[in-house]
Each structure stands twice: as structure tokens, then as C-alpha cells.
Amino acid sequence: MNLRRTLMRMRPSSDEASERAAQARVRADERAQSAPRRAEVTLGSVFRAFWRYPSPWMISATLVTVLAFRVGLGDWRADDAYAPLVLILLFPLLEWLIHVFILHWRPRKVAGVVLDTLLARKHREHHVDPRDVPLVFIPWRALIWVIVGYNTVALIAFPRLGQALTFMVTVAVTGLVYEWTHYLIHSDYRPRSGAYKAIWRNHRLHHYKNEHYWFTVTTTASADRLLGTYPDPATVQTSPTAKNLHGTA
């Protein structure tokens, strides 16, 4: 019995073992911090990689085409700027609405037919693996219809061709900015400016914290704050479906 008590006194308690394990993890982290790091990802290398995917080229081709027509047409007037200015001002709200109601569309069955879209399916796949680079971009098959659709509507809706072309140029520019910003956030490039860090953090909270908040991509604290989806992250529980939208997988 005496030997048994002696051995039990010599055996470390579970608390002591946990403390030693925690200290070991801290030391390992410190060693990792002081170890030589892998080559830093530069903005230039990320920018070059951006052009390996189809949507930047498709949007750029559209931009160059409509810009050439706009410059060739001439007939510049002050009212050409109205629609582009409204689009730029409303873009955070439009981005929020598209993200919530189109990209986060919940598949539903109507009359025995499942209603779903390519954009929603690909976005669900994007949430499953946010680092799968091709899924970061607008699917090229859907982008064809988007480009044809908004250009056709612009040509019909505006009273003058010059106004329509100016608006089409603005849409192409904002689309390219969106694709670049979204790609940059999901790349290995780390923020250096305060403005970009806020956008980077905002979108990563959406993917890794809770998919029901932080819907804007190119701005932060804009439409999200206006529409009540910009909470203090400390008050939000981590969602079990952030990587499995709607729990459908």
C-alpha cells in the first residue's frame, strides 16, 4: 500500500500534464515564428496569377470593346455620368442583394422540379473549400449570360447610345474590380493597408465565422451595417454550416 501511494504521488496530475502540453505548444509556436519563413507572396505574383482564369479576360474584353465604341461615338454629355455615379453609389447594396438572394439561394422543389442555379451551386462549392481558386471566380458559363444580359438591357433602357455605352463601361470596370478583390482576399497575399485589411477580415469572417453576416466583398461596414449584417464578431457564434450552406451536403 505504501508503495502504491508513493507511485501515485509521483504520477503527475491531469492538470499538470495539460499545463505541460500547453507550454509545449507555445514553445512550438515560438519556434515556428522564429524559423525561416517561406517566400513572401507579392502583389505582383498574385496579379499575374489572376490572369490565368477566364472571367478576368472575359470582362476585360467586354470593357475594351464597349470603351472603344464609346470613344469612337463621341457625343459626350454631362448626363452620361448620372447612371455610372448611381451605380457606384449603390454597388455595395447591389453586391449585398446578389450575395444574399442569388449566391445564397436555397434550392427548393416546386411542382416536383428542383429550382437551383449554376451560380448558387458554384457558390456553395466555394464555401465548402474557399481556397479552391477556380471557384473564387464568377463561373464563365454564367458570366456569358450576365454580360449579354446587362448590355442588352442597357442598350434598350437608355435614350441615347452614348449613355448606354458609358453605363456599360462602368459595369465592366466594377465587375473587374469585384473579381480582383475577391480573388485577392482568397489568395495568400496578406493585407498591408488598413482599408484592405478591413475588407479582407470582413470576407473571411463570412467564410470562417458565420455565413449569415458580412456579405459585402469590395467594401466593409457599408451595406452590411445598413442592413444589420455587420455585428461585433465576438457576439456571433461560429456557424456549423459556414462551409455547408443550408446544411444541404
Q: What is the pLDDT of residues 190-248, one digit of tens each?
A: 999 999 999 999 999 999 999 999 999 999 989 999 999 999 999 999 999 999 998 76
- 14 domain-assigned: no
Other residues' Cβ atoms within 10 Å of the Cβ of residue 214: 24
Other residues' Cβ atoms within 10 Å of the Cβ of residue 151: 19
Task: Give the chain's count of helices (H) and strands (E).
Answer: 10, 2
What's the whole-number mean pLDDT along residues 168-182?
97
Residue at grid coordinates 470582362: 59
- 105 domain-assigned: yes
In 11-71 the beta strands, taken as DSSP E runs, fall at none
- 125 domain-assigned: yes
17-26: per-residue pLDDT in tens?
Answer: 555 655 565 5
- 37 domain-assigned: no
CB 236 within 8 A of CB 120: no
pTM of the model: 0.82
- 15 domain-assigned: no
- 8 domain-assigned: no
CA distance 175 to 165: 15
Helical axes 194-208 vs 161-186, angle rounded to 10°:
70
Q: What is the mean pLDDT of the chain?
A: 88
- 31 domain-assigned: no
What's the whole-number mean pLDDT along residues 138-155?
96
Rg of the chain (C-alpha set):
25
Q: How many domains does the chain have?
A: 1
- 88 domain-assigned: yes
Which residues face 134 on adjacent strands?
Answer: none
- Which residue segment(s) compose the domain that 88 sits in? 42-193
